[in-house]
Amino acid sequence: MTNISLHRGISVHRIGAMILRYWYLLMSSWPRLLELLYWPALQVITWGFIQHYVAENSNFFARAGGTLIGAVILWDILFRGQLGFSISFLEEMWARNIGNLMMSPLRPIEFLLSLMVMSLIRLAIGIIPMTVLALVMFHFNVYALGLPLIAFFCNLIFTSWSVGIFVSGLVLRNGLGAESIVWTLMFAILPLACVYYPVSVLPFWLQTIAWALPPTYVFEGMRALLIERTFRIDLMLDALAINAMLLGASFWAFLALLRSAKKNGSLLSGGE
Amino acid sequence: MTGNDKASSPPTVAGRTSSAAIEVDHLVKIYKQTRAVDDISFSLPRGSITGLLGGNGAGKTTTIAMIMGLVLPTSGRVQVLGHGMPEESASVLGRMNFESPYVDMPMRLTVRQNLTVFGKLYAVKNLSERIAALADDLDLTDFIDRANGKLSAGQKTRVALAKALINRPELLLLDEPTASLDPDTADWVRAHLERYRKENNATILLASHNMLEVERLCDRVIIMKRGRIEDDDTPEAIMARYNRTTLEEVFLDVARGRANGAKEAVR
């Protein structure tokens, strides 16, 4: 049996070449740049006003200031992180360039690492203005969360990469016919990760599933911080452990799907 | 054989010692019920130009894709520059390159940006000079800072060829290299490929439907039909065997099932 190796002599030079390729693309296309800013800004404005309205009419939300808008910002880190990864991958499929890359000395792990870096770059372009908007319009300073914000961010971005790696593998294997999964899979996590409400509102059997998802720990941790003023490091460590397993599983799945694509000949077609 | 001898011997296919650029050994590819490639074997010496001929669905592209490691064989083995594909692809991908109508270069990037990215992927030294030399050689200078998507089909083909040559490959795999080029440009590309082979002792395997191109460029022709090798020889020997004066006539004989009759008539 032929093995497709994940690493074998990782080259920073080749990762840099791929980042340069995506940078050239971003800089050549203002609609791509605008899209990075547009949705996060729209989200924070909408949910900021909802937060404002609810807080005026509810003692609890007045006391738990920022839980909704904080949840929106953290959700966008998760969602945009995955999209930033997956869209860069899809650019190769749309450009029919994947064959050129697979035939070049670029290793699968280098390709994935470059997509991870691009997800951070795209995220920064979208999220930093979003947080500034939240501060200016709704007086919510996400950076005031301090060090816990780093733990939240790391756990969310790890999950977003796991999902991004997995769905990219699916598209590699099944062609652009599987593209809709890229845009929708993360929304399956939305109700279960308890972004806007505590895990306790779920039925018991769903709570078990929810606790299998790292973002659930992050959103619970955020609420604990904003409402109870407590940083739950135990939640972050649990999330980190699950994320490590998810990342490992997603790398494995990507390689298995890449191998299946090579067996199936879909790298040559890449179509629907 | 001593341990040292063994360690320094080139790798082999099916136990044979190999200094060939490509060795294909009993290669089979089955997609569900279809035998796209059906037990083919051949060996290409370094520095040769070989044409892979056959009608649509003959198995040419699948064969080339297996040599490149883009498709996994169902059975059989491929060795490229002494390394098994795809398991040792990391050792060999930097020394080969390809051009195919099944892939494109990113459309929004300029020609220079595309060549820069691929040059970096292939760790090309003195990249700016290399790009300038290729632009000069392949007449890309006028549109080197234009987006790839805004080029004509012929210009895109020349850019794809520049990408295929960026790392000065020892092995070049070309699928329809002159498709969509006008006769003048196509002739010019062929001359360039001939010169590149001579100057670099490169091995070229090209799949083409252009018989004149194959006659002019190739010192060997492999004709495929329904996944099998129908014939394998020099263009002159094949034409003599079929009692034909052009490869196009041979191609039609093979495609229309007249091959055996033609060969029998000569005997």
- Residue B262: the pLDDT is 57
CB pair distance less than 8 Å for A105 and B94 = yes
Q: How far apart are the first and last CA of chain B?
A: 46
In sequence order, the β-bridge partners of residue B146 are none
With an 8 Å Cβ cutoff, the interface of chain A facing chain B consists of 2-5, 8-9, 11, 13-14, 16-18, 20-21, 24-25, 28-29, 91, 95-107, 259, 262-265, 267-269
What residue of B is the nearest CA neighbor of A263? Answer: B72
CB pair distance less than 8 Å for B86 and A104 = no
Flag whether residue B127 sits within 8 Å of chain A, measured between CB atoms: no
- Residue B11: the pLDDT is 41
What residue of B is the nearest CA neighbor of A32? Answer: B108
- Residue B102: the pLDDT is 78
From A18, A91, A99, residue closest to B100, measured CB to CB = A99
Strands B96-99 and B171-175: parallel
Q: Are B80 and B43 in contact (CB under 8 A)?
A: no
pLDDT at residue A50 above 60? yes
Q: Which helix H or strand E contains B182, and what residues bound it?
A: none
- Residue A48: the pLDDT is 87
pLDDT at residue B14 above 50? no
pLDDT interval class at B261 (50, 70, 90): low
pLDDT at residue A6 above 80? no
CB pair distance less than 8 Å for A268 and B71 = yes
pLDDT at residue A40 above 50? yes
CB pair distance less than 8 Å for B106 and A25 = yes
A110-119, pLDDT tens digit by residue?
999 999 999 9
Cβ-based contacts of B69 with chain A (< 8 Å): 102-103, 262
pLDDT at residue B10 above 70? no
Between A232 and B56, residue with greater pLDDT: A232
Contacts of A178 (CB under 8 A, 6+ apart): A167, A170, A171
Q: Are A100 and B167 in contact (CB under 8 A)?
A: no
Cβ-based contacts of A96 with chain B (< 8 Å): 102-104
Q: If you ran DSSP here, which 8-state letter would residue B30 be given?
A: E
Task: Give chain B's mean pLDDT.
Answer: 86
pLDDT at residue B2 above 50? no
Flag whether residue B63 sits within 8 Å of chain A, measured between CB atoms: no
CA distance A253 to chain B (A): 18
- Residue B41: the pLDDT is 96
B27-83, pLDDT tens digit by residue?
999 998 889 999 999 999 999 999 999 888 889 989 999 999 999 999 999 999 999
CA distance B94 to chain A (A): 5
pLDDT at residue A269 above 90? no
Between A1 and B209, residue with greater pLDDT: B209
pLDDT at residue A272 above 80? no
CA A13, CA B118: separation in Å to the nearest integer? 11
DSSP, residue by residue, chain A: -----S-SS--HHHHHHHHHHHHHHHHT-HHHHHHHHHHHHHHHHHHHHHHHHHHHH-HHHHHTTTHHHHHHHHHHHHHHHHHHHHHHHHHHHHTT-HHHHHHSS--HHHHHHHHHHHHHHHHHHHHHHHHHHHHHHH---GGGG-HHHHHHHHHHHHHHHHHHHHHHHHHHHHGGGGHHHHHHHHHHHTTTTTSSS-GGGS-HHHHHHHTTSHHHHHHHHHHHHHHS----HHHHHHHHHHHHHHHHHHHHHHHHHHHHHHHHTHHHH---
Q: Are A215 and A156 in contact (CB under 8 A)?
A: yes
CB pair distance less than 8 Å for A100 and B70 = no
CB pair distance less than 8 Å for A105 and B122 = yes
A188-230, pLDDT tens digit by residue?
999 999 999 999 999 999 999 999 999 999 999 999 998 888 9
A157-193, pLDDT tens digit by residue?
999 999 999 999 999 999 888 899 999 999 999 999 9
Flag whether residue B60 sits within 8 Å of chain A, measured between CB atoms: no
What residue of A is the nearest CA neighbor of B169? Answer: A104
User: What is the SS3 assignment for B258?
Assistant: coil
Q: Find how far residue A74's CA is from the centre of its chain.
A: 10
- Residue B90: the pLDDT is 87
- Residue B17: the pLDDT is 44
- Residue B264: the pLDDT is 57
CA distance B194 to chain A (A): 23
CB pair distance less than 8 Å for B121 and A106 = yes
Cβ-based contacts of B102 with chain A (< 8 Å): 96, 99, 268-269
Mean pLDDT across B124-146: 94
CB pair distance less than 8 Å for B103 and A97 = yes
- Residue B242: the pLDDT is 86
- Residue B210: the pLDDT is 84
CA distance A249 to chain B (A): 22
Longest dimension (CA), chain B: 60
